[in-house]
Amino acid sequence: MSEIVERTREDRFEELFRKHYRAVRGYALRRAPGDLAQDVVSETFLVAWRRLDDVPDDALPWLYGVARRVLANQRRSADRGSALERRLAGTATNAVASDPGERAGEGEVLRTALARLSERDREALMLVAWHELSGARAARAAGCTRTAFAVRLHRARGRLAAQLDLLESPIVPAVNSKSLEVR
């Protein structure tokens, strides 16, 4: 009998994997280099396997939330490693900011403005604009209530508009476009 239950569990996981692998991989690739992104995808589906009974019917926001936490754990680990390297080397690394005026095209200006935002702001904007999640689904992916996410998104839009203004971008009106509306 347990073999039948296990087979059903395997089938459910295989279906989940087939249905959402590409979306989770795309999510990870937009946030991490290729080799790290694949680790994020693997870890995300490992968590899904371990917690298969906790995976909701609308699994994609849940998987995005898991991937977000896996990425955060990787960043914290990398930050600790970098801090240790700096201490061992006895020097602090200074990030050199590139001059936005040297960049061409609206896409570069937008990427620069997004890079200046916090990870939390970028995440809110990307869940709605890039991943095209509704407000409710994006809230689940971000691990908060729909109301909290709506406030987070509103503030992120404002900060993005401010960054675009600083960069004197001709695409500032796009911030109010339907692509960033909470559905």
CATH (domain of 119): 1.10.10.10
Residues 12 and 60 placed together within one structural domain of the fold: yes
Q: For residue range 153-171, list pLDDT tens digits in order.
A: 999 999 988 888 887 644 5
Tens-digit pLDDT profile for residues 56-86: 999 999 999 999 999 988 888 777 766 655 6
61 and 136 inside one domain? no
Q: 145 and 76, same structural domain?
A: no
Question: Has residue 95 got a pLDDT over 50?
Answer: no
172 and 113 share one domain = yes
- Same domain? 6 vs 83: yes
Q: Calculate mean pLDDT across residues 14-20.
A: 95
Kindly report which listed range (31-35, 37-41, 52-56, 142-146) carries the lowest average pLDDT score.
31-35
In the prediction, which pLDDT does 100 show? 42
Q: Is residue 94 part of a domain?
A: no
pLDDT at position 109, please?
78
One-character DSSP codes across the chain: -HHHHHHHHHHHHHHHHHHHHHHHHHHHHTTS-HHHHHHHHHHHHHHHHHTGGG--SSHHHHHHHHHHHHHHHHHHHHHHHHHHHHHHHT----PPPPPGGG--SHHHHHHHHHHTS-HHHHHHHHHHHTS---HHHHHHHHTS-HHHHHHHHHHHHHHHHHHHHHTT-TTGGGGGSGGGS--
pLDDT of residue 89: 54
Q: Residue 21 is part of which domain span?
A: 2-89
pLDDT for residue 102: 46
Same domain, 13 and 53: yes
Q: What is the pLDDT of residue 155?
A: 93
* % the chain with pLDDT above 90: 40
